């Protein structure tokens, strides 16, 4: 990754290695709280991975040991009006971009994932947590509620009962409990977090890239449709995959007992 590419980011750092983009929020003095610079950086990063042929998987994490993202900048929330929220940059459309982008995105959650940080992790495809991770949506204690998809994604992932207790009662979930509830896929020691996320990324990179993209989109569709419509969408995507070069390569490689060499075609 060239220095010129990393200079566009004000609050994040970007490292590209072996097809994996490591995007790290770097505001440890503020427990990596999200501000307007972060919104701009996230949009720039999503533009970059959409245009890059190098990036196959992205990993989002936070600098330091205490926080992944400990929510939004409360000063910004305190002064924001409803009209400003509708007109100015906000987190929710960014999280929709994360959720719908073509490549898988892994959240490597180190420490506090509160408010917008938890909402960002929920928008990622896979969440892996360090043992000291904690998850919460404490906005109701500020007289508001989660406004970047927390009321929508958490009940879909963990169930309505869990979402109500976390949002209405302000319950904080520790890493192991979040795993039990299906919010995170694995809990590992902090010093092994990025290695674990990288291992998952590399396993995904060994799969057919077109299949990964379509599988991500079809799974997302299941949350918004009835099963009949979802199964139809699944069938259409499967038809597309049957006509790809990757399908031919994957099946040939299996029969020839060799690793596949996918090209994304």
Return the active site residues: 119, 139
- Per DSSP, 226 falls in state -
CA–CA distances in Å: residue 93 to residues 43, 119, 243: 10, 12, 33
* CA atoms within 13 Å, Cβ hemisphere of 42: 28
- Per DSSP, 134 falls in state E
3-state per-residue secondary structure call for 30-98: HCCCECHHHHHHHHHHHHHHHHCCCCCEEEEEECCCCEEECCECHHHHHHCCHHHHHHCCCHHHHHHHH
Tell me which residue of 125, 128, 107 sits closest to 117, measured CA to CA. 107
């Amino acid at each position: 990754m060239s220095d010129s590419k990393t200079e566009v980011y004000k609050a994040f750092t970007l490292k590209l290695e072996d097809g994996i983009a490591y995007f790290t929020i770097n505001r440890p003095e503020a427990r990596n709280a999200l501000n307007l610079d972060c919104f701009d950086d996230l949009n720039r990063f999503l533009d970059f991975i959409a245009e890059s042929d190098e990036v196959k998987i992205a990993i989002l994490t936070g600098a330091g040991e205490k926080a992944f993202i400990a929510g939004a900048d409360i000063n910004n929330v305190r002064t924001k009006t409803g009209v400003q929220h509708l007109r100015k940059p906000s987190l929710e459309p960014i999280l929709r971009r994360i959720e719908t982008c073509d490549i898988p995105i892994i959240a490597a959650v180190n420490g506090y994932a509160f408010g917008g940080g938890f909402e960002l992790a929920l928008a990622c495809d896979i969440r892996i947590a360090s043992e000291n991770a904690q998850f919460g949506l404490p906005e109701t204690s500020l007289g508001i509620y989660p406004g970047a998809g927390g009321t929508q994604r958490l009940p879909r992932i963990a169930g309505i009962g869990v979402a109500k207790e976390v949002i209405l009662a302000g319950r904080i979930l520790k890493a192991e409990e979040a795993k039990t509830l299906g919010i995170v896929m694995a809990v590992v020691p902090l010093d092994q977090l990025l290695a674990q996320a990288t291992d998952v990324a590399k396993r995904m990179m060994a799969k057919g890239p077109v299949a990964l993209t379509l599988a991500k989109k079809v799974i997302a569709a299941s949350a918004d449709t009835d099963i009949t419509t979802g199964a139809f969408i699944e069938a259409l995507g499967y038809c597309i995959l049957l006509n790809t070069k990757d399908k031919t390569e994957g099946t040939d490689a299996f029969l020839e007992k060799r690793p596949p060499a996918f090209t994304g075609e």
